[in-house]
Every structure is written in structure tokens, then in C-alpha cells.
A and B are shown apart, each in its own frame.
Chain A
Amino acid sequence: MPAHSLAQGLRLPVNGLDYAILAVYFAVVLGIGFAARRSVRTSLDFFLSGRSLPAWVTGLAFVAANLGATEILGMAANGAQYGAYTVHWYWIGAIPAMVFLGLVMMPFYYGSKVRSVPEFLLHRFGPASHLLSSVIFAVSSVLIAGVNLYAMAIVLQALLGWPQWVAIVVAGFFVLAYITLGGLSSAIYNEVLQFFVILAALIPLTVVGLKRVGGWGGLSDSLTATHGEDFLSAWGGTGIGHANPLGANWLTIVLGLGFVMSFGYWTTNFAEVQRALSARNLSAARRTPLIAAFPKMFIPLVVVVPGLIATVMEPALGKPGSSLSYNDAIPVLMRDLLPNGVLGVAVTGLLAAFMAGMAANVSAFNTVFTNDIWAAYAKRDREDAYYLRTGRVVTAVGVVAGMGTAFIASSFSNIMNYLQTLFSFFNVPLFCVFIIGMFWKRATAAAGFWGLLTGTVAAMINYFWFYKQGVIAIPSDQGANFVSSIVAFAVGAVVMGAVSLFTTPKPAGSLAGLVYGTVSPGMAEPPAEGDDAWYRSPALLGWGAVILAAACYIPFSL
């Protein structure tokens, strides 16, 4: 999501009560850090909570790590701009990939006992692809943490009148403190807390907003009158060759967003997968994304619907000449509808969501940097306490680098948008390499590296040359993103196939537990007591989520 600018005149009428609610939250966040500190004895405690958390905690953290404030403001903005098309980001663009991660991929990730997503590449393909993906992941997560911090500074400046540097320093300090103290456990606990606080803000906001515009009936009547029939339809106007505001047709939505982009993000982004790897056993790890799928499915009700309400309440939103951009949808509703008290909860929720979004990236960064770069290539075979110390230092370095990025972003925001787009092209080829590596024993080490590299380069060429230079006509950035992802996946897959045919595969014995149909020694652990209950069955949870997500489409497709 690009760093955005919020309009002046959005200042919220906060009072002492609201600030008291916010102050309590900051105190609790620090308290969690201090209380979690005593549970950190080994590096595994620091980076993966000792692989011991229950599934409902990791599941809620999984969804909350994605529910950062840039996501909330951005998806409400998409709702205001594109209408019901925005639901594709949830129901086809998230649920199937989350279910696939839980049902198909998690046994390889968790069962092989890797500590990070890049580490899986090391064992499956070897050091070249491992180092490439580790370095790119480390750089991009610091960058994203910084962009997130910058976005927060802009929002707080507009809403509360805080100078940008105050917001950057305060939020950066709190994130640094609680992760350095308690490691992943305190990041995850804060995410779970943030999940409930942001819902406690968004649910009342949506209810009051709906009452203001005359309920769902009043809302859809107003939107149909001003924006036409297709605005509240998920698939209306997405025929191939048909123009629509999203700039994408049903095929690029299903293949680009629903398959390659979403699978790339949800199944290989370590900031997400890390939550599942911290679960206490394989069953809990598999259930992590499946439990997350259910809240994820209903989040559009309290994020996209407020975006729609805002377009009715403030028709000028996002129009040329207006001082309000689409990103202002939720802040406008907060300003106009929430009394002091709930307003404090909403400000706290938004701030918590910004900090959690940053913390998810920082906690993934310190793990990958320490385990996959430092311990693998710089200082090998030290005692565990050394890597634990390194992890804490790297956390501090990562946060400070993120704060630096935020300050740079405030003067060069266009460059930051460019870089973010650039890094977003890395997940898709990564997914391509993973999926082929997991299902095709013949895929070789060289194929993994070249698939990763050529897929990424192909996506960049498609986006920055073919699309930006106008060689092929795609109506919007969103549409071009979808097409670039499909290109990245196809090129990566073809290159992997071709290179594999000309290089020698790894011996089958070294792939046990890493490729479909194999089990690594000692991987089969007995199921924990109670995990055989029907409501803990991964297959039931997974297929239930898919069917429910498909059913969600019905009211928006008739």
C-alpha cells in the first residue's frame, strides 16, 4: 500500500478521556514486553516462541499481522473507490491461499523444523537461492517497516496534530522495547490484543455509519443511484474486454489476484508464516492459517462497508479538487460519528494496528537476518546465547533502520512507492519455486535459483517496461500488478523446468520431509491429547472456510 497523504481539516476532537485510553494501551504493551522477557531463555524462544503457542493465539496473530493500519485504511479506500470489487482481496485473494497453506504446505514447513521460510529453500535447493531470498526479504522487511512508520506519522499528524518526528520516534521506541525484551512472544501477544481493540473500534463505527445512511437498503440505493449497478456487484462489468474501474477482468482477478499474488503473499511471506511456525505442534501449526481464515472472511464487513458509507456521507471523497482522498474514508467517519470514549478506542486501535504492522516485519526481519544470514554465512557454530544476543541487537538495528527509512520516505515518497512495487514482485516467483520444489523431486538447486531470479526480473520488465512504457495496454496499476504476477509465475515455472532438465537433481535421500510424498526422520510426532476432536480437524476447518467464502459471494453476484 503506498504511503498516502491525509487531508488537513481531519483533526479529531480528542479529549483527556481518549488520551487516557491510549496511555493505558501503551503501558500494557510495555508490560507485555517485560512480562514476556522471563520466558526467553534460548534463541528459539526469542525467534519462534519456543514452538509452543496454542493455535487460537497464533491464528489470531496470523490475521492481525496482516490487519495493519495501512491495510485497514487502504482497503476502506479501495471500497470507496472500486465498491464491491474490493471483496476479491478477501474471499478469492486470501481464503484459498490460507487454506492451502494450512492443509498442504504446513506439514513441510513445520514438520521439517525449519525456522524460517528462506531456511526451507536452503535445505531444498541449497545456498544460492537461500542467500538471495534471505537478503531480499531482510531488506524489504526493513523498508516496509519504515514505510509503515511513515504512513503512521502522516496519519497522526493529520488526526492528532503530532509532529511527524514525534510519531516516528515514539512508535519506533515502543516497538523496539517490546520486541527486544520479549521477542516473538510479545509481538504475537500484542497482535492478539490489537485484533480485539481494532474490532472494538470498527464494529461501532460501522453500526453508526449504517444508521446514518439509512441501513444497508439506504446505502445500496444511494450508491446505485450515484455509481451505477455494478458498484455493489463483485463480478458485474468484469467480462474480458469490458471496461471497469479496477482495470481487471475475471480471468486476471482469478489467476493473478486469486492464484499467484495471494498464494505468493500468504504462503511464502515469512512475516505471516512465522506465526504458524511458533505453534506448539503440527496440528496447531496447520490450524493457524485456518483459524485465521474465519475472521479474515468477515473483515470486509467492518472495513469495506465503512469505505462505502464514507462515499455516501462525503461525496467529494477522492474527487479531483477535494481535499479528502480515498484513504481518508475511515478517519472521516471517526471524526463525524464517534463520541469521545469510543473515539479514544478507535485512535488506540489505529495506532496499535500501525505498531503491530511494523512489529510483524521487525520480528520476521530479526529471525531471517540472525538465522539465515548471520548464523549461516558470517559467524557459524557459536553457542546459542550468542545468537540470542545477536537477535536482540539486530532487532534494535532493524527498528532504527526502519525509523531512518521513515525519515527518508518523508522527503522521497515516490521512490518509496517504487521500491515497494519492486519488492512486491519477489513473492510470486518465490511461491513458484516453493510449489514446484515441494511437488517435483526432479527440480534442481540451479533451477531454484534461476527460477527465482528470472521470475522476479520478468515481473519487473512487464511492469516497468511493457506497462509503464505503454507497450501493452492495461487500464490501471492494479490490473498491471495482476498481469505481472501471472507473467512472473509462468516465466519462473518454465525456467525451472528447463534448467532442471539440464542439471543434476539432489539425491532423493537428502529431500526427505521437503518434497511431497516423503517424511523426514523423526517428523511423525504423536498427536497431542484432544487434537483429534472433530472441530480441530484441519480438513474440516479448511474446506469449511472455502465453502463459506464462496457463499459470501452469493449476495454480491445475483
Chain B
Amino acid sequence: MSEYEYQHEVEELERASATAARLFDVRRIIGGLFTLYGLVVTIAGLTASDADIKKAQGINLNLWTGVGMLALGLLFFLWLILRPTPPPPPAQD
């Protein structure tokens, strides 16, 4: 067995690999989840009870956290629009 056979094996597997071409972009998942969480928690903040605000030391914590999460989610979508998923690299020979 040649000393570098394992490297050729890995190179062959890399050529046959489907991840680069078929794996979805994680930015879409982060954007989606944080937009949803952001909306839900913001609404909880808009309807916060006095007890909720008192518990969080006078801060409307749900509102601020919700807005922050919403902003993060939208930023990921913005990034996705500005720098779309690069096309898969052409198959090497």
C-alpha cells in the first residue's frame, strides 16, 4: 500500500461529495428562527404585565430581547440577499 493512498482516497471522496452542492445555507435557518422568535417575544413584550416588568427590574425585557432577536434574524436575511449562497464549485478533475 502506497504511503499516500489515503490522501487519494480522501480526494476521490471530496470529488464525489454532495455537501457543497446540496447542503442548504444555514443563514436561512438562523434568519427564520430568530425572526419568528423575535416577533413572538416582542408581542409578549407589548402585552407585558406590570408583574413581568417588575420582575425584570423595571426593564421591559421581552420587548428589548424580542426587538434584538428580530433585528438579528432580519440581518441574516439581509446578508443572504447581499451575498447569496455561492454556486457549488465546478467538479474538479
Binding site for B on A (CB under 8 A): 17, 20-21, 24-25, 28, 32, 35-36, 38-45, 49-53, 57, 112-115, 119, 123, 185, 189, 192-193, 196-197, 200, 203-204, 207-208, 211-212, 280, 336-342, 345, 384, 509-510, 520-522
Determine the residue in chain B with the shortest Cβ distance to A199: B72
Given contacts A189-B29, A200-B37, contact A42 B59 (CB under 8 A): no
Determine the residue in chain B with the shortest Cβ distance to A52: B20
A45 in contact with B19 (CB, 8 Å): yes
B18 in contact with A40 (CB, 8 Å): yes
CA–CA, A336 and B59, complex, Å: 14
Determine the residue in chain B with the shortest Cβ distance to A521: B4
Beta-carbon contacts of B28-66 to A below 8 Å, as 1s and 0s?
Answer: 011001101100110011001000110111110110111
Determine the residue in chain A with the shortest Cβ distance to B45: A341
A112 in contact with B37 (CB, 8 Å): no
B18 in contact with A39 (CB, 8 Å): yes
B30 in contact with A193 (CB, 8 Å): yes
Q: How far is the CB of B24 from chain A (nearest CB, A)?
A: 6
CA–CA, A207 and B61, complex, Å: 9
- B82 close to chain A: CB less than 8 A: no
B41 in contact with A341 (CB, 8 Å): yes
13 A-B pairs (CB sep. < 8 Å) = A28-B33, A50-B19, A51-B17, A113-B11, A192-B26, A193-B30, A204-B65, A208-B61, A339-B44, A339-B56, A341-B45, A342-B62, A345-B37
CA–CA, A338 and B59, complex, Å: 10
Option from B7, B17, B37 in Cβ contact (under 8 Å) with A50: B17
A42 in contact with B56 (CB, 8 Å): no
A42 in contact with B13 (CB, 8 Å): yes
B44 in contact with A200 (CB, 8 Å): no
Give the residues in chain A near B23, CB-CB below 8 Å. 36, 39, 49, 52, 185
Q: How many residues of B contact A (CB 8 A)?
A: 44
Leading 5 A-B pairs by shortest Cβ distance: A50-B17, A50-B19, A341-B44, A339-B52, A41-B18
Give the residues in chain A near B68, CB-CB below 8 Å. 200, 203
Give the residues in chain A near B29, CB-CB below 8 Å. 28, 32, 189, 193
CA–CA, A185 and B13, complex, Å: 16
Binding site for A on B (CB under 8 A): 3-4, 6-7, 10-11, 13-14, 16-24, 26, 29-30, 33-34, 36-37, 40-41, 44-45, 48, 52-53, 55-59, 61-62, 64-66, 68-69, 72
Option from B13, B34, B45 in Cβ contact (under 8 Å) with A384: B13
Q: How far is the CB of B10 from chain A (nearest CB, A)?
A: 4
Give the residues in chain A near B55, CB-CB below 8 Å. 336-339
Option from A40, A189, A200, A339 in Cβ contact (under 8 Å) with B48: A339
B4 in contact with A342 (CB, 8 Å): no
B65 in contact with A345 (CB, 8 Å): yes
Give the residues in chain A near B40, CB-CB below 8 Å. 17, 20-21, 341
A192 in contact with B41 (CB, 8 Å): no
CA–CA, A50 and B57, complex, Å: 49
Give the residue among A49, A212, A339, A521 with the most B Cβ atoms within 10 A: A339
A204 in contact with B64 (CB, 8 Å): yes
Q: How far is the CB of B72 from chain A (nearest CB, A)?
A: 7
Give the residues in chain A near B52, CB-CB below 8 Å. 339-340
Q: How far is the CB of A295 from chain B (nearest CB, A)?
A: 14
Give the residues in chain A near B72, CB-CB below 8 Å. 196, 200
Give the residue among A208, A280, A521 with the most B Cβ atoms within 10 A: A208
Give the residues in chain A near B62, CB-CB below 8 Å. 339, 341-342
CA–CA, A520 and B10, complex, Å: 14
Give the residue among A45, A384, A520 with the most B Cβ atoms within 10 A: A45
Determine the residue in chain B with the shortest Cβ distance to A20: B40
A44 in contact with B65 (CB, 8 Å): no
Q: How far is the CB of A275 from chain B (nearest CB, A)?
A: 13
A42 in contact with B18 (CB, 8 Å): yes
A211 in contact with B57 (CB, 8 Å): yes
Give the residues in chain B near A49, CB-CB below 8 Å. 19, 23
Known: A338-B61, A345-B37. 20 other contacts (CB 8 A): A24-B36, A24-B37, A36-B24, A38-B18, A44-B17, A45-B17, A51-B14, A52-B23, A115-B10, A192-B30, A197-B33, A203-B68, A212-B57, A339-B48, A339-B52, A340-B52, A341-B40, A341-B66, A342-B61, A342-B62
B33 in contact with A338 (CB, 8 Å): no
Q: How far is the CB of B29 from chain A (nearest CB, A)?
A: 6
